[in-house]
Amino acid sequence: MTITGPLEQAQLLETLVLNIVNHQSLIATKARRLSYAAAGRPIMEFGARRAQGPDSALYGTRAAIIGGANSTSNVLAAKLFDIPVASTMAHSWIEAFPDELTAFRKWTEQYPDNSALLVDTYDVLNSGIPNAVTVFKELRAAGHEPVGIRIDSGDVTTLSQAARTQLDAAGFPNAKITISNALDEHIITSLLHEGAPIDNFGIGEKLITSASAPVLSGVYKLAATESNGQSTPKIKVSASREKLTIPGDKQVYRLYEPGTQRAFADLIALATETIVDATSLTVVTSDPLSVDRQQRLTHFEARPLLAPVDLSNTTSIPVTTIQATTQAKLAELPRTTQRLVNPDLYPVYMTTTLSQLQTSLLNKMTILAD
């Protein structure tokens, strides 16, 4: 992202922009990882009570949907952002009645066509499922079909398999099984590897806080100043080459195999450079650890990623549209870079002009310091 403006104004924005972009990118990324692990099964966002503050729940939910979650139990987020709401019931509903069967009946009276019964308040297999089956039969007799059950504790593989068997035997093969118990992408992968018959995943704290990596360390750096129409590129030097900034006003191109939607690398150039689709271009990898930093690219189509945003145009884009665009963009990236464990690195290059500018500014600053 490039922000251009009077220095004082651009500086005032730093903390807010970083806060929003870091937070929401983090949660969207986590949702993407969970969605990848769930391999097509819906993800329900359940994290409001464990988010780091009320707004964190609200905007975290929005980001989770963009990243690939399918629905949320956060009714305010669902209302404000027009995203699907996921129905759920609480253990306290069950406890508020004299017994579980009465609690289930009272719930299905309210929601005859949208009842996912929570079966683990007392004992999943000996109480929860039998009581759910009783109520499901009553529902069906009254002309309704149950949605299914939710399990929120215990060994999920064992319980979901036994629950599936009991529901099938009772004549409810279409009743869905939802699981929600401190799930993350690795637990989901393991459950599916074991063949647990799970239809939906409800994911709370691990998604809404990105618990495995709760910080995205995005930065906001001065890249250039302008005076009398003259742009001066700027650099922040660091003992670590990874923290060295890339100077100047820039454009980023995504490089595709010609005529396809298959992206294979990104290329950072100065905004003043012209990048044309070419059969051959020498570039420099931006990975400071790479041994062979010069690379020759052949046969690509370059499409710019940065486009101006008109802040006076406040038409908001529907969240589900942003979700669809994001998912389409992700689908363009190499499959090998998308796996959860040991992903291949997606290459990011700089043009030789930009790389030379970075090196010359670094040398100048090092000389100044001597």
CA separation for the pair 322, 66 (Å, rounded): 6
Coil, strand or helix: which one is 26? helix
HEC-encoded secondary structure of 183-227: CCHHHHHHHHHCCCCCCEEEECHHHHCCCCCCCCCCCCCCCEEEE
Nearer to its own copies, 12 or 306 (CB): 12
Nearer to its own copies, 23 or 32 (CB): 23
> Is residue 111 part of the contact set for its own copies (CB under 8 A)?
no
Q: Are 354 and 246 in contact (CB under 8 A)?
A: yes
> Is residue 359 part of the contact set for its own copies (CB under 8 A)?
no
> Is residue 255 part of the contact set for its own copies (CB under 8 A)?
no
In this chain, which of 123, 168, 226, 332 binds its own copies, going by CB under 8 A? 123
Nearer to its own copies, 48 or 191 (CB): 48
In this chain, which of 1, 6, 39, 126 binds its own copies, going by CB under 8 A? 126
Q: Give the tokens for residue 236.
A: 């922040």
> Is residue 56 part of the contact set for its own copies (CB under 8 A)?
yes
Binding window for its own copies (CB under 8 A); candidates: 79-87, 116-124, 161-169, 334-342: 116-124
Which residue intervals of the chain are DSSP H helices? 7-38, 54-67, 75-81, 91-95, 100-110, 129-141, 156-169, 185-193, 205-208, 319-331, 352-369
Restricted to residues 187-226, the positions that interact with its own copies (CB under 8 A) are 205-206, 209-211, 214-217, 220-222, 225
Query: For residue 124, which phi and psi values (nearest 5 degrees)?
Result: -55, -55
Nearer to its own copies, 12 or 324 (CB): 12
Query: For residue 257, which phi and psi values (nearest 5 degrees)?
Result: -65, 135
> Is residue 99 part of the contact set for its own copies (CB under 8 A)?
yes
Nearer to its own copies, 82 or 123 (CB): 123
Characterise 259 by phi-psi region: left (phi > 0), alpha (psi -120 to 50), beta (else).
Answer: left
> Is residue 314 part of the contact set for its own copies (CB under 8 A)?
no
Minimum CB–partner distance for residue 79 and its own copies (Å) = 14
Q: Are strands 148-151 and 116-118 parallel, antiparallel or unpaired?
A: parallel
CA separation for the pair 194, 191 (Å, rounded): 5
Nearer to its own copies, 144 or 236 (CB): 236
Q: Which of 223, 235, 167, 234 is closest to 198 using CA atoms?
A: 167
Binding window for its own copies (CB under 8 A); candidates: 20-28, 300-308, 310-318, 336-344: 20-28
Q: How many CB atoms lie within 10 A of CB 356?
A: 12
Residues at the site binding its own copies, with contacts judged by CB under 8 A? 7, 11, 14-16, 18-20, 22-23, 26-27, 48-57, 59-60, 90-92, 95-96, 99-100, 120-123, 126-127, 153-155, 205-206, 209-211, 214-217, 220-222, 225, 234-240, 243, 365-366, 368-370
